[in-house]
Amino acid sequence: MKKEVRSLAGTRKPRIGLFAAPETSPSVLFGLYDVLLSVGSVYPDMTTGTPGDAVLDVRIVAAEARPFRCFGSVLVEPHDTIASGDPFDVIIVCDLYTPITTAPRGRFAREVEWLRRMHAEGSLIASVCTGSLLLAEAGLVDGRVCAGHWAYADLFASQYAKVEFDASAILVLNSEPDGVITAGGATAWQDLALHVIARLCGPTHAVRTAKVHLLASHEEGQLPFAAMIRRTDTGDAVIARCQEWIGQNYACASPVAAMVGRSGLRSRTFGRRFRAATGHRPIDYVHALRIDEARHILESSSRSVDEVGFSVGYDDPTFFRRLFKRRAGMTPAAFRRRFANISEYGRSRAHVNSDAG
């Protein structure tokens, strides 16, 4: 049965609550605040010279009323607290930094209860990046597909077994009828903001806001931005040594057999211990290493795609391209076009400075 999400009918401005904590990034919090507050007012000013009226009531919400410092020691002055009981049409949980190996168990008990209550009362609950961890703590994404920062896929797998974490997703909307939306890592807040604007104010306001702030959707998803998480389980010294060795020898022939030989273990035992230590099957780990290195080469060199594939251990160019696209979300050539220009940023200036020296 679908839950009843609060109706937005009426003449009042839709209310959006941005939940923030000391672990929140200012770029996410104030980026959302700036963009959402500008809806209806800035576009007319930019195009006619006459400001319009803001159409959203945007509030920063925190556990306590007193000002606090968020990540980077940036001052946050909340408008509301979770104890106020004020209704919100949409609540967005901003990111909450926690190490990729640590779930925020028990750290946000009052906030979790508030989210559950607000959801039950009809608020649409959304999250950005690691904010989805708070939704997981509240049980709001149990049995649902959930987005979040790609680096936290292993943490979700180990700590939130009822959640289907999608490390490739920028925006998960299939639970929106049930009052839940989750967005991927970091700047996925932009995609979420545009979706919320379109939902509350209509697509025209969303398009105009995108034009004012030069916002564009992350149509390619998160995979092109993801990097390999190279966990080393120091509790298993044999596997840790194999990880260290394969990190330097990923391009060798028969890499898994080579690791098994170096470990002194039986193949089946090695596979079981390797997966327990790393969260991956040995061959999947090797593929991830190779594709990660291929990404770096494509970003920083002009070597042909076939050369890149061969250098990381793939003799079959077709297999390399197919595997790369599956793991990176785009072809090697498209990946190079997407990131090579970023690698060039600052190089011309650095060259000038070098000449001047």
Residues 188, 267, single domain; the answer is no
Percent of the chain predicted with pLDDT > 90: 78
**What global pTM score does this model have?**
0.82
Q: How far is CA 277 from CA 272, 273, 274, in A?
A: 9, 6, 5
Residues 46, 154, single domain; the answer is yes
Percent of the chain predicted with pLDDT > 70: 91
Residues 102, 137, single domain; the answer is yes
- Mean pLDDT on 190-195: 95
- Residue 18 in tokens: 């941005």
d(CA 160, CA 133): 9
Taking only the tens place, the pLDDT of each residue in 63-120 is 999 999 999 999 999 999 999 878 999 999 999 999 998 999 989 999 999 999 999 9
Number of domains in the chain: 2
Q: Rg of the chain's alpha carbons, rounded to an integer? A: 23
Taking only the tens place, the pLDDT of each residue in 146-165 is 999 999 999 999 999 999 99
In a domain, 232, yes or no: no
Taking only the tens place, the pLDDT of each residue in 316-354 is 999 999 999 999 889 999 999 888 777 666 565 544 454
Extended beta strands in the chain, E state? 15-19, 57-62, 68-70, 74-76, 80-81, 90-93, 124-128, 145-146, 164-165, 171-172, 180-183
140, pLDDT greater than 80: yes
1, pLDDT greater than 50: no
Handedness of CA 81, 124, 56, 75 (dihedral sign): positive
What is the domain range of residue 183? 15-223
- Residue 340 in tokens: 């090579």
Residues 161, 204, single domain; the answer is yes
Domain endpoint, select from 223, 247, 272: 223
Give the count of beta carbons closer than 10 Å to the beta carbon of residue 37: 16
230, pLDDT greater than 80: no
